[in-house]
A and B are shown apart, each in its own frame.
Chain A
């Protein structure tokens, strides 16, 4: 019995670690979508956040040389670099779609192409450009991101379930809760939802539509960028390897739909998606790897089912924001 408990706690812990990048991504995308912007550039932004963080850590480690890393700077520099990198890319998206009113789908996809390109390029070539060769790796900084509370190991299964994570995991949950609070309980959240549902009405009510859209998209992008940072600094032990981030960005977008645009549901959803992601490794499927890949298809299939069911039931609180994907031009009627 006790063994089973240990096993279950271990499984949940792995699922949570797997789900954290998705949670960051989906919280950011929910904020963005609530303003009516469907940012399909989230995968690119997450890449950008990850690689900016690694670049920050790389230069900090270079500056320190063989000496000891200062834990505060060692965490802050990558963190801030990731936030800035991701926010910049989100700003490009905002400028193109909000100010220049470009098509959101096209802009988002271009952003993903660009962000993934930047990520793989600097991840693969930065060490090369500085004459060190090999792939980019910041193991020492990664240790800082991975450090857990000291008593985590003494408390056995419970310790593993609740305290075995780096600080970014807790940050992801806190950010999702804060986002939920802001969206549901504050005036800012009410205005933001109004902008996303019907910008013309919001505009008539005196809400600055442009400002809300910009703020939501840039902040959302920065939060999503932390997902990339978590993945690379914590989950991947600070080593960049090509394409290892995989389709997590698109899973984050899937998660937004699955969570019905509610950040709190996103927390549970991210753990569920994380569990589905790691499940193949736990099933004793013997020689048959097909089952494994079928399981990896599940998050997308489940998302499609949720999308179809919500559109069939037409419950108003479960729908995407009304103006999602549409540009707003005040003088257009």
Chain B
């Protein structure tokens, strides 16, 4: 009998879920992961370019902080990415996997461009900006609420639905590009209202992007308050934790799903407004350029915390700008930035495991203990 017990196989590694890690330990692990990722991506760039490691990072810093223009680009791009990340966050907190940030933002872009093109001459500047803003937000919300409606009503898979909606939006832009192309047969929309600048967000203190950045900062605070300190935000997290619990305490789950996606889509629409009215003043299928997807990862990396998202979106943009600068210097393809982003994401995604779970190795047991 004791023989049988002794032969009992104990696995080498045993994994258990941690209760709750001290907050600073979690962030320490994340910091180590980011550091490791920086080392690895630096190594990859080193292999490809022959730069020594110090100058890789020096180039990266220079690519971001080298001139005031580069610095403004860093801030501006971070703001846009942050805005989309903030947008998908309420949905994520509800465990509604909104992969449609790209499409919802693009819907906002479409509405903004449409207003600027078709209403450009018919109303005063401030009114046009207001109308453009409202229409963009509505368009984003509309694009977001369609999958939410079907999720709430028929439990349609939202990941796949929102994913498909992205490409519907992209094709829609292609269609509209033909309608709006300027000059004719150029295949692009060109800068909208180049001369009148109607519908363009104004410069603030002579800085072109300052207004964008301030708007996103305000949104960041609003989303933080909404999620942390409002009744609706609380309902979102209850639905995310357990739909059954939510039903039990009398929360109308369907209503929460639809309402949260309206919020999510509306903020995406705002990002679209900022992209068209506040940044590029044009529209094309690449206006959002995959940031809807990057934003999902930014939000997830920050554990859905709006304030931490400032850091994570800044980190991603820093790396992308830095890698692009290196690629330009060495005449390499600028998708180097994507490779570096991918590496850092893998590390951060992987390190979450060590925060959530604890690993126990098999201890060599003393003879006789089992008898």
Residues of A within 8 A of B (CB): 38, 40, 92, 95-96, 99-103, 105-107, 109-121, 123-125, 128-129, 242, 247, 250, 253-254, 257, 288-290, 293-294, 296-297, 300-301, 303-304, 307-308, 311-312, 314, 320, 324-325, 329, 331-332
Contacts and interface: CB of A to CB of B under 8 A. Distances in A.
Contacts of B160: 253, 257, 303, 307, 320
26 contacts: A96-B349, A101-B356, A101-B357, A102-B349, A102-B353, A106-B297, A109-B293, A109-B296, A110-B297, A112-B293, A113-B338, A113-B341, A118-B339, A121-B336, A129-B48, A247-B170, A250-B166, A290-B178, A293-B174, A293-B178, A294-B171, A300-B165, A303-B160, A304-B168, A307-B161, A324-B157
A304 B342 CA distance: 29
Interface stretch (B23-31, B109-117, B148-156): B148-156
A308 B338 contact: no
A265 B231 CA distance: 47
Contacts of B62: none
Given A100-B350, A125-B48, A254-B164, 4 more contacts: A100-B352, A114-B338, A114-B343, A119-B335
Given A92-B346, A109-B297, A120-B335, A311 B168 contact: no
B66 interface: no
Given A107-B349, A301-B168, A125 B342 contact: no
Interface string B128-169: 000000000000000000000010001111011101111110
B34 interface: no
B300 interface: yes
Contact of A102 (B170, B339, B352): B352
A320 B17 contact: no
A38 B350 CA distance: 17
Contact of A120 (B150, B290, B333): B333
Contacts of B331: 128
Q: What are the 5 closest A-B residue pairs judged by CB atoms, nearest first?
A: A114-B342, A117-B338, A124-B333, A110-B345, A297-B171
B346 A250 contact: no
Nearest to A296: B171
A106 B85 CA distance: 13
Contact of B171 (A124, A289, A293): A293
A300 B154 contact: no
A106 B349 contact: yes
B164 A121 contact: no
B16 A297 contact: no
Interface string B343-371: 10110011011001100000000000000
A82 B99 CA distance: 28
B333 A300 contact: no
B349 A125 contact: no
A293 B181 CA distance: 14
A289 B342 contact: no
A103 B348 CA distance: 11
Contacts of B32: none
B337 interface: yes
Contacts of B333: 120-121, 123-125, 242
Contact of B99 (A105, A303, A311): A105
A297 B172 contact: yes
A119 B150 CA distance: 36
Residue picked from B99, B150, B167, most chain A C-beta under 10 Å:
B167
Contacts of A324: 157
Interface string B82-102: 000000000000000101000
Given A116-B335, A117-B336, A121-B333, A311 B346 contact: no
B283 to A, nearest CB: 14
B335 A121 contact: yes
Nearest to A133: B331
Given A106-B349, A301-B168, A332 B293 contact: no
B329 to A, nearest CB: 13
Contacts of A311: 150, 154-157
Contacts of B214: none
B290 A331 contact: no
B332 interface: yes
Contacts of A107: 349
A74 to B, nearest CB: 26
Interface in B274-314: 290, 293-294, 296-297, 300
B159 A289 contact: no
A254 to B, nearest CB: 6
Residue picked from A110, A116, A301, most chain B C-beta under 10 Å:
A110
Contacts of A114: 338-339, 341-343, 345-346
Given A105-B97, A294-B171, A294-B175, A111 B357 contact: no
B179 interface: yes
B171 A117 contact: no
Contacts of A294: 171, 175
Contacts of B294: 113
Contact of A300 (B171, B293, B349): B171
Nearest to A119: B335
Given A102-B350, A105-B99, A293 B175 contact: yes
A308 B154 contact: yes
A298 to B, nearest CB: 9
Nearest to B343: A114
A110 B338 contact: no
Given A109-B297, A117-B336, A103 B349 contact: yes
B289 to A, nearest CB: 12
B168 A297 contact: yes
Contacts of A329: 15, 17
Contact of B296 (A101, A105, A289, A296): A105
A113 B164 CA distance: 18
A106 B294 CA distance: 9
A325 B294 CA distance: 19
A325 B159 contact: yes
